Amino acid sequence: MCGLLRLPGESAELQRRNRVKVSAGPYQLKVDDVLGWVVTFFVIAIIAAVFGFTGIAAGAAAMAKVLFFIFLVVFLVTLVMHLVRGRTPRL
């Protein structure tokens, strides 16, 4: 990726010295680091688009609703059992 940023007539040593582009306090990001993050978020966006533009998102939402109600029922049952017993759990 470094070859993309090389100016005509620029030596490799000069290019290495100029790679540090972003400085925020004690942290410095190199161009290669930033480009790596760009590629990572681009891939995540493509995967999210595939899930969003197909019916997979609707299926996942339906499954989430089912799991929510299952866990809600389990929570209510355990809450009622705790209230009936009247004891606090041992730590």
Provide mean pLDDT across the span 9-28.
Answer: 58
Amino acid 2: pLDDT:
46
Distance CA 8, CA 75 (A): 67
Nearest to 2 by CA among 44, 28, 35: 35
**Tens-place pLDDT, residues 19-39:** 555 555 566 656 667 778 888
Question: What is the value of pTM for the model shown?
Answer: 0.40
Distance CA 33, CA 21 (A): 10
Which of 30-34, 45-49, 50-54 is predicted least confidently? 30-34
Nearest to 30 by CA among 21, 39, 38: 21
Provide mean pLDDT across the span 64-82.
Answer: 92
Only one residue has tokens 């209230």, namely 83
